[in-house]
């Protein structure tokens, strides 16, 4: 099957800091006084430096495929989409697009601020090559989806960012482009609108059209996309199934951007207990990318240097805001742990269908019950939880509360 998008050896270079010196007579005289031997010439360039936003990127997308583009800020995602949308030209390489493209890259992209919402709908349709009759046929659906009926005849410059995004997405999605390109702009909308948009993109993909979707919400990427591409510093770091690529990204993001990942626990902090390792596994594999639907296990290895009666190990898990979700201790176990000198390993399993999607940290420590703390390694554990499967934005992740357990309910009809 002929690909609908083919990207070959695509590179994009930007010059930064370069500027021309267009001096007035006063500027020229002042410069001559300060540095008589270095006379600037009109039109002279200074501080010319360049960066490669994209470097030798190649991939293909088949008709009807939904592909997620992920990576940290500055990875080259937006530059790639701007080239695909023909907003900017590549420095090297080529792009072949075999279909009409609808893009939603930034708030208000493609809108004329002085025109009304109604006029912008027709303007965008004309840009996509649609006839007035085609736009008329879709007009009511666009307005209903955007929920901007009251403001249709108001200039877009008076719209809030949320209203602008709603209308822009409605236009891009309903005017039937063969290729729909959506950047992180949906983050501007509220949760209800985001879910509505993701549902619409699912509908578009089922109709056989192609979607390129950039998002930092890996749960949405996993639910919407069959395939994902990870960009790192302008190059493709990995391409594959959405679940595999997002797990790779979460598991290695720190390694990609820093020489320090999970630092080894400092040695010598306690002359009583030495923490040797603290790791997380899921499905028997060490990872920091956790599927919220399945249990995860925290594994500890440590050395008791002394006999320590009444000592216990504890773990405090908190979210990225610093809020404590729960604390667990090996005193929860029924059997009595003999606290003699020697090397030990402990494991604790956190059940699946408990945590919300997000980033979490774990502090590991030991204390003497009701007496004193022996040591504590703050945030030595770090893991990211995502929602797998087809539930685009699982309702339980939006519930009030720090966790979102799936509990057993039983309902029976009472007979009177």
- Give the domain CATH number at 137: 3.40.50.300
What mean pLDDT comes out for the span 172-190? 74
Mean pLDDT of 263-289: 76
Encode burial over 193-226: b for 16+ CB neighbours within 10 A, e otherwise.
Answer: bbbbbbebbbebbeeebbbbbbbebbbbbbbbbe
Confidence of residue 180 (pLDDT cuts 50, 70, 90): confident
Q: For residues 38, 40, 44 and 48, what is the CA-based torsion angle, rounded to 10 degrees?
A: 50
Q: Is the pLDDT of residue 223 over 50?
A: yes
* Strand (E) or helix (H) holding 334: none
**Rounded Cα–Cα distance for residues 317 and 363 (Å):** 7
Q: Which two tokens stand for residue 231?
A: 């960009």
Q: Nearest to residue 7, comparing CAs of 102, 77, 84?
A: 84
Which residue among 201, 227, 255 closes a domain? 255
Percent of residues, the chain, with pLDDT higher than 70:
81
pLDDT over threshold 50, residue 173? yes
- Phi–psi pair at 323, nearest 5 degrees: -80, 135
Q: How far apart are the C-alpha atoms of 276 and 267, rounded to whole Å? A: 9
Bigger pLDDT: 238 vs 20: 238
- Over the chain, what is the mean pLDDT? 80
- What digits encode the pLDDT tens for the residues 110-150? 678 889 989 988 887 787 677 888 889 989 998 988 888 88
For residue 386, give the H/E element and its range. Answer: strand 372-386
pLDDT for res 110: 67
Which token pair is 276?
């040797």
Res. 289: pLDDT tops 70: yes
Q: In the predicted model, what is the mean pLDDT of residues 356-378?
A: 84
**What is d(CA 11, CA 239) in angstroms, rounded to the nearest whole number?**
18
Q: Are residues 111 and 237 in the same domain?
A: yes
Mean local confidence (pLDDT), 398-402:
80
pLDDT at 230: 93
Number of domains in the chain: 2
Let me know whether 232 and 299 are in one domain: no
Alpha helices in 92-228 (DSSP H): 117-127, 132-146, 161-174, 191-206, 218-224
Determine how many CB atoms are found less than 10 A away from the CB of residue 15. 12
SS3 25: helix
What's 303's domain CATH number? 2.70.50.60
| Domain termination site, one of 196, 224, 255 | 255
Question: Is 411 part of any domain?
Answer: no
> Of residues 276 and 258, which shows the higher confidence score?
276
* Confidence band, pLDDT 50/70/90 cuts, at residue 32: low
Q: Which residue has the higher pLDDT, 196 or 158?
A: 158
* Domain contains 74: yes
pLDDT tens-digit series, residues 36-75: 555 545 554 444 578 899 999 999 999 989 999 998 878 8
**Does the residue 410 lie in any domain?**
no
Tell whether the model's pLDDT for residue 109 goes beyond 80. Answer: no
Do 203 and 305 belong together in one domain? no
Res 89: pLDDT: 92
Q: Judging by beta carbons within 10 Å of its beta carbon (0-12, 13-18, 19+), is residue 239 exposed, middle or buried? A: middle
Classify burial at 322, counting beta carbons within 10 Å of its beta carbon; exposed 0-12, middle 13-18, buried 19 or more.
exposed
> In this predicted structure, what is the pLDDT of residue 376?
84
| pLDDT the model gives residue 392 | 45
Q: Which two tokens stand for residue 241?
A: 């199934």
**Burial class for 139, CB neighbours closer than 10 Å (0-12, 13-18, 19+):** middle
32 part of a folded domain: no
Q: How far is the C-alpha of 382 from the C-alpha of 283, rounded, in Å?
A: 17
The reply to whether 123 falls in a domain is yes
Angle, helices 191-206/161-174, rounded to nearest 10 degrees: 10
Pair (86, 204) in one structural domain: yes
Tokens, residue 177: 């482009």
More confident residue, 357 or 95: 95
Assess whether 227 and 310 both reside in one domain.
no
Which pLDDT score, from 0 to 100, does residue 45 have?
47
Domain of residue 248 covers 5-23+44-255
Q: Which residue has the higher pLDDT, 25 or 239?
A: 239
Q: What is the pLDDT of residue 100?
A: 81
Note whether 157 and 14 are same-domain residues. Answer: yes
Residues 54 and 197 in one domain: yes
Residue 407 placed within a domain:
no
Model confidence at 324: pLDDT above 80 = yes
Asked if pLDDT for residue 29 goes beyond 60, the answer is: no
Domain limit, last residue, from 208, 229, 255: 255
Same domain, 101 and 62: yes
**Residue of 300 and 378 predicted with greater confidence:** 300
Task: Determine the longest span between alpha carbons in the chain, in angstroms.
Answer: 104
Residues 118 and 211 in one domain: yes
* 394 secondary structure, DSSP code: -
The pTM of this model reads 0.57
Per-range mean pLDDT, top range of 66-75, 191-200, 382-391: 66-75
pLDDT, average across residues 336-351: 86
Report the percent of the chain where pLDDT is more than 90. 24
- 342 & 231 share domain: no
Angle at 312 between CA 308 and CA 317, to 5 degrees: 150
Q: What is the pLDDT of residue 51?
A: 87
Both 311 and 226 in a single domain?
no
Is 312 a domain residue? yes
Do 220 and 101 lie in one domain? The reply is yes
Can you tell me the mean pLDDT for 75-100? 90
Q: Is the pLDDT score of 264 beyond 50?
A: no
Distance CA 353, CA 220 (A): 17
| Average pLDDT estimate for 310-314 | 86
């Amino acid at each position: 099957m002929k690909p609908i998008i083919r990207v070959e050896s695509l590179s994009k270079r930007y010059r930064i800091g370069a500027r021309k010196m267009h001096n007035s007579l006063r500027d020229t005289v002042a410069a001559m006084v300060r540095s008589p031997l270095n006379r600037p010439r009109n039109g002279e360039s200074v501080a010319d430096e360049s960066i490669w936003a994209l470097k030798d990127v190649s991939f293909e997308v088949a008709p009807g495929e939904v592909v997620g583009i992920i990576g940290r800020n500055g990875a080259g995602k937006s530059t790639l989409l701007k080239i695909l949308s023909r907003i900017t030209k590549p420095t090297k390489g080529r792009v072949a697009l075999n279909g009409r493209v609808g893009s939603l890259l930034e708030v208000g992209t493609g809108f004329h601020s002085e025109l009304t919402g109604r006029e912008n709908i027709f303007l965008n349709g004309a840009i996509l090559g649609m006839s007035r009759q085609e736009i008329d046929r879709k007009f009511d659906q666009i307005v209903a989806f955007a929920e901007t009926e009251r403001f249709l005849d108001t200039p877009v410059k008076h719209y809030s960012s949320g209203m602008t995004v709603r209308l822009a997405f409605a236009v891009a999605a309903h005017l039937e482009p063969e290729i729909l390109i959506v950047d992180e702009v949906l983050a501007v909308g509220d949760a209800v609108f985001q879910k509505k948009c993701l549902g619409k993109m699912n509908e578009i993909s089922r109709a056989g059209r192609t979607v390129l979707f950039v998002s930092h919400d890996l749960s949405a990427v996993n639910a919407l996309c069959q395939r994902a591409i990870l960009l790192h510093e302008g190059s493709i770091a990995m391409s594959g199934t959405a679940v595999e690529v997002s797990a790779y990204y979460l598991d290695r993001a720190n390694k990609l951007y820093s020489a320090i990942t999970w630092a080894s626990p400092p040695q010598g902090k306690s002359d009583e207990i030495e923490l040797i390792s603290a790791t997380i596994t899921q499905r028997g594999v060490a990872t920091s990318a956790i599927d919220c639907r399945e249990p995860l296990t925290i594994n500890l290895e440590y050395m008791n240097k002394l006999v320590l009666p009444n000592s216990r190990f504890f773990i405090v898990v908190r979210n990225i805001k610093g809020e404590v979700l729960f604390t667990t201790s090996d005193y929860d176990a029924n059997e009595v742990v003999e606290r003699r000198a020697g090397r030990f390993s402990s494991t604790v399993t956190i059940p699946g269908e408990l945590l919300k999607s997000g980033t979490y940290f774990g502090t590991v420590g030991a204390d003497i019950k009701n007496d004193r703390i022996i040591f504590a390694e703050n945030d030595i554990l770090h893991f990211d939880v995502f929602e797998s499967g087809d539930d685009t934005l699982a309702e339980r992740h939006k519930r009030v509360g720090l966790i979102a357990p799936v509990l057993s309910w039983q309902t029976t009809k009472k007979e009177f």
